[in-house]
Structure formats: C-alpha cells, structure tokens
Structure 1
Amino acid sequence: MTNHEHTEHTGSMKAYIIGFILSIILTIIPLLLVLNHMMAKTSLTVSILIAAVLQFAIQLFFFMHIREGDGPRYNAMALILGLVFAVTIVFGAIWIMDFNYVVQ
C-alpha cells in the first residue's frame, strides 16, 4: 500500500487581502461610471465587461487557486469548457436579441 500525502491548498493572508482589495476596486469602478454617467453607452458597456473579466481572473487566481495542483489539469479543462459554453450562450442570446426586429 502506498502512503499518499494530502496537501491542503492554502493561500497567504497577504494574497487574500490583495485579492479582496482588487475585487472591491473592480466593483466600485463600474458602479461609479454608471452612477455618474461618465461614458457613452457603448464605451460604458465595454468598460463594464473588461472589469468583469478582470474580476473573474482575480477570483480564479487569488481565491480559487487555479495555479495550484499536481498532475493533469482537469479543473482547467473543465473551466475552459465552461467558458466556451458561457460565451456561446451570451453571444447567441445577443445575436437573437439583435435580429429580433427582423421577425416582428
């Protein structure tokens, strides 16, 4: 019988605090942009989407420890597949809503 070591993935308190502060900043920036009407509609939408993608990356790296792990990266492959599904659904919904006026 082999003895497997169980390693627990824990991050440092400094990394959690940095991730939390960055998450708060990336939440406040789009909120201020929307509440103060600082941009046109298209640029506002793009800036919100950029903040959302950055927020997603921060969550993955600082809190979900996506870089940690040994062996095959099944979690990373599942994440990529989930992203493909999400992007397909979002762009499909936008495409359907964009061409809705043709049907009416």
Structure 2
Amino acid sequence: MSQDERSGYTMSEDTTPLPTDPQPRAEPQPEEPQWVTGPSSPTVLAGLLIVVIAGLATVRLVTDVDLDWSIAVPVTVIAVGLIAVVLGATSFTRHSRTAEHDTTS
C-alpha cells in the first residue's frame, strides 16, 4: 500500500505538477543616463580666476597703480566664489523648472 492510498488521497492521471515559476519576471530596466551638457563649472571658474588675476597684474604693470596683492587676490577669490554661488543658484532653479515641466520622465 502506497502513502497516497493510506492517507485516502488519490491522484488522477491528468494532473500536472505546479510550475516552479508561474510567470517569468521582467528584469527592471535601468534608467537612461542623463548627460550633463554645457561647460564644466570648475574649469570655467578657474579660468575666470586666472583672467581676473592676469587683468590685475596687467593693470599694475601698465599703469602707476600699486596693487596690494595681499588684499587684491583674496578679494578676487571671494568675488569668483560669489559668482559661483550665483551661477549655481541660477542653474538649480532652471533645472528645477525644467524638471517640473518635463513630461517624458
């Protein structure tokens, strides 16, 4: 006597075993990378800083103005930093507005 006969359960001939995975699952697709467009901000700021310092040096050499470099260079660096903050805030607000109106994502 088999185990099925002793338990009172019988299997019909037309039953099939359950599949192990009823539906194949689709793998999640990675999002399309979003490439940054435009110039690199650190490169632009470094170039701007170099141009401003070169301009100050040219003014000092061409004219009789005597620049105090201990004041001129820190003021120039602070000015370039403020420009970076303004450009960053502008870029952030522009990106936020673009993302709000983007219907593709």
Larger Rg: 2
TM-score range, shorter chain: 0.3 to 0.5
- Higher RCO (Cα < 8 Å, 6 or more apart): 1
